[in-house]
Each structure stands twice: as structure tokens, then as C-alpha cells.
Chains A and B, each alone.
Chain A
């Protein structure tokens, strides 16, 4: 029997890994994958709570999160392609025109 706590700790760890990845990685696609990891950590939290509370709201929320993540992926990859066409790179170090 796996307790609620284990799930919550696992998802907190996954969320932290995602956050650290976003902050330290330099490749835009890897950063985006880390964001997806964060969202999936949240999904795990929702499902764990939903099961624990015996209430389906959390699972419905997960469906919406997955749909939205798919939309974001479509738009985000399109933006990266547009950037790559002009700059031939998706390294965020090269995202450097706009600075103060």
C-alpha cells in the first residue's frame, strides 16, 4: 500500500527537478521539456488527491491540463522553428537582442 504522502513527495521532487531544469538548461527544447515535467508533476498531485479524496474533480482537471499542454507544445514548437529559421540556433544564450 503506497500512501498519499509518497505520491505527494514524488510529485514535489519531480516538480523541483523541472524547475531546476528550466533555470539551468540552455536549450529551448530541453527547457520546454522541463516545463512539461513540472506540469506532469502537478498532474500526479491531482490524481493522487483525487484518489485519496474519492472525488473526480482532480482527474477532470488533469484532462484539461493535458489538453492545454498539447496546445502549448504546438504553439511553442512553432515559435522555436520561427526563431531557428532566422538564427539557426535554439540556444537561449542566443536569445540576446532584447536586453537593457
Chain B
């Protein structure tokens, strides 16, 4: 009897994705039976799922697994990014419950959507086929459109969801057109096969279709990582979305975008390096400058952090342009520390708001340092880290990104980066000036720290300070995960 050969599936390569998506679907079913005041239990269940997944990620370290006939590859690079996604999802879930209860939109679908978005990011990080990367990106984006518009009754949230959806779908069109042209030029969608085809037929530099495909893909990815000039959606969406979801959106998808961006460009198109390095050089400078200069004028702290997240995408692009081991390790280290510092800052923003009054203006923080010294110290640590002041992790990350650029010979890029970073100190310190040097206007007596948010703050402070003071271990991990 003829046997049918099984295709090479290898579930070990998608173990974390499998666990997370099974838990997400189970939670959707359980959600029906949970009364609305007890939706927090769904959050705890999803946290357990994330912890289990985290252990499989740790267990997979050092043993690369290839699956699905070469369309996913779970190597150290993917695993490091998966760790970042899980950390950002867990921290965002910890701050969600209190916020969602306060705003009376405590729907249980929140947690499965976060898990599915995380699953999409993981597929983006481990995809080695344009198709897998596209599917991961869409799983992520579709979940995020819903999360941005999650507060159905709030017009701002509706607007954020609608804007994100229209611009996200628009950018997907560009990304896909780029993928189609690259497929046309090389006849394959596997990124390793693309590289070997381009090298064998020496298409680099002569093939216009390949070049246009590369540029269109860069446009698509730049939308996702919020790089200027494709950043216009960012501040609006970040301001309108529910604050915990803004925290999630500003970290995870950005890291996922970079993971896919780096993998496609470094592995599939190394022969076009001269072309894309120039392109990204310009993007990096534009992104840093536009982000920082616009952030200087923001009064709303969520918008300020949105522009600052654009600027941070610019710093990370510096490491990408450098393209050497130091720069790439810097990208990973920086994205991890960015997860801690940014979500930590958003946790404080969640706490300062009350129902109907988000208290998002910088003036609302007047005297916060006298009323709640401990929380203000946490906020200061996060802001120092975002500004890149030692001994916070943000400093080490920036140091590696810029020294990678200098080693690769991009001295000017590093100088522009450092100047930008210096300018950014102004708007981070302004919040601290309001916290510590203005008289309190409000009593901040509505402010209650739930145990979940306290846990989130403790993890975030530890995640900012420990790698900032003893960065060796994490940097070593990041260097082992580099793709080169």
C-alpha cells in the first residue's frame, strides 16, 4: 500500500504560538460563563498562559527548530523577540483590569485579543517566508485594530480604532505589493531562497523590480514601526486608544516590526545592502528628528510619549543601519528595556487618571511628587531611562546602538542620534519639573494602586534598573541571538 509522505511540520518550531493561541481560544469560550465583575480572572488565566509560554521560550533557547518546510524558524533571534513580546503582553495585562473596570468597559474579550496579537508578533519574529510574516503581521494588526477601538462608547477610542484600521490596511497594501514584486523578481517567497537567487543571478543593482519591491516593503514596515514620514497615525491612535492598550501597542508591535524588518532585509536582501542602508539612514535621521522636535510641543502626556516612541524607533533604526553584531544586539537589548520603561510610564498614567477625566496633561502632574513620592520616583526612573540617562537600561541600549553605528563607520548618524537624545531630555524632564517643583493643585485622593499594577511597577523598575547596572548577562544573551 502506498503511504502518503507527511510534510515536515515539526510543531516544536511553533510551540509558543500553539500554546498561546489555544489558551486564547479557550478563554473566549470561558468568557461566556464569567460574570462581568469577575473578568479579572480571565486576566489571571492569560497571565498563567503567558508564563507557561515563557518557559517554552526559555526551554527552546540554543536549539534552533525549523518547521513547516522552512517557512518558520525558531532560532535565538526569534526567541529573544518572543521574550520581549511576552513581557510586554504580561505587563499590559497587569495594568488593564483596573483601567477597564474604571472606564466600565470590562469586556472579557480583551485578554484573548492581547494573546492573539502576541501570537501574531511571534509568527512575525520567526517567519522565514514572506507568507508567514504577512500572516503574523495581519493577525497582529487585526487584533490591534479592535484593541484600539475597544472602548465602544468613547468617541476618542472609536476614532483611534478607525484611523488605525484605515491607515494600517493602507500600509498593508504597500507591503504586499513589495512582496509581490520580490516574488516576481526571484520566483520564491522563502527569504533564504530569495537571497541565494539574487546572489546567483547577480540581480543586485540591476533589477529594477527587486529594488522597487524592496522600497515598498520598507514603506510597509516603516508604517508598522512608526518611522517618519509614515508616523502620522501614531499620536492620534496612541492618544485615543485605552491607555493599557497604548502601552501594549507602543512596544510589542514595534519590536515585531523590527524583528521582521531585520530578518527580511538582512537575510533575504544582503546583496542590496548598499541601497537599503542609505534608505534607512535617511529614515532614521528623519524619524529621530521629527519625533523629538514634535514631542517638545506636546501638552498631552500620551501624545508626548507617542512622539517619543517615534523617536525611539529612530534610535533603533540607527542600530539597524549599522548592521553589525553590536548594533543588532543593541536593537534587541533596547527593545527589551523599552518594554519595561514605556509600559511602566503608562502604568503611572493609568493610575493618575480617573473615570471620565484621564488627567493626561502635563499640568495635571503638578505636585504629584509630594502626594505620592513612591509613584513619582518610579515615574522618574522610567523617564530617566527613556531619556537615556545612566544607570538606567535605556542608557546602555542607546550606548550599544550608537557604538554599533560608530564601529560600522556611520559617525554622523551616531552624532545626530546623540544630539537628538540630548534634546529629548527636555520634554522628559518637564514632567519631572511639574511633579517635583510645582505646588499640588489636586489631592490625588482617588488614586488606588491595585496589587496587579503594583506588581507591574515592581517588575518594570527592576527591568529598568537591573540591566542598567549589570547589563552583562542580557547583552550576552542578545549577542547570542544576533542573526549574522
Contacts and interface: CB of A to CB of B under 8 A. Distances in A.
A55 B187 CA distance: 7
A86 B166 contact: no
Given A35-B169, A42-B177, A57-B183, A100 B303 contact: yes
B12 interface: no
Contacts of A82: 149, 152, 158, 161
Nearest to B149: A79
Contacts of A35: 166, 169-170, 172-173
Nearest to A46: B180
Given A39-B172, A61-B189, A64-B131, A83 B177 contact: no
Contact of B142 (A32, A45, A72): A72
Contacts of B155: 83, 86-87, 97
A86 B160 contact: no
A53 B149 contact: no
Interface string B297-310: 11000010000000
Contact of B162 (A38, A95, A100): A95
A90 to B, nearest CB: 8
| Residue among A68, A80, A92 having the largest count of chain B Cβ atoms under 10 Å | A68
B170 A22 contact: yes
B394 interface: no
Contacts of B187: 49, 53, 55
B145 A75 contact: yes
A46 B173 contact: no
B166 A31 contact: yes
Contact of A95 (B130, B163, B177): B163
A41 B165 CA distance: 20
Please tell me the size bucket of the interface on B. Answer: 35 or more
B173 A65 contact: no
A47 to B, nearest CB: 10
B138 A68 contact: yes
Contact of A42 (B156, B163, B173): B173
B165 A57 contact: no
Contacts of B159: 83, 95, 97-98
A83 B160 CA distance: 10
Question: For the complex, would chain B's binding face be called helix, strand, loop or mixed by DSSP majority?
Answer: helix
A98 B240 CA distance: 7
A76 B145 contact: yes
Interface string A6-29: 001000000100110010000010
A78 B303 CA distance: 26
Nearest to B138: A68
A39 B138 contact: no
Contacts of A58: 180, 183
A19 B134 CA distance: 20
Interface of A: 8, 15, 18-19, 22, 28, 31-32, 35, 38-39, 41-42, 45-46, 49, 52-53, 55, 57-58, 60-61, 64-65, 68, 71-72, 75-76, 78-80, 82-83, 86-87, 92, 95, 97-100
Given A68-B134, A83-B158, 20 more contacts: A18-B173, A38-B173, A49-B183, A58-B183, A61-B183, A61-B189, A71-B138, A72-B138, A75-B145, A80-B162, A82-B161, A83-B155, A86-B153, A86-B158, A97-B159, A97-B240, A98-B240, A100-B294, A100-B298, A100-B303
23 contacts: A8-B184, A15-B177, A19-B173, A35-B166, A35-B172, A42-B173, A46-B180, A49-B184, A57-B131, A57-B183, A60-B131, A61-B130, A61-B131, A61-B179, A65-B176, A72-B169, A72-B172, A79-B146, A86-B155, A86-B158, A95-B159, A97-B159, A100-B297
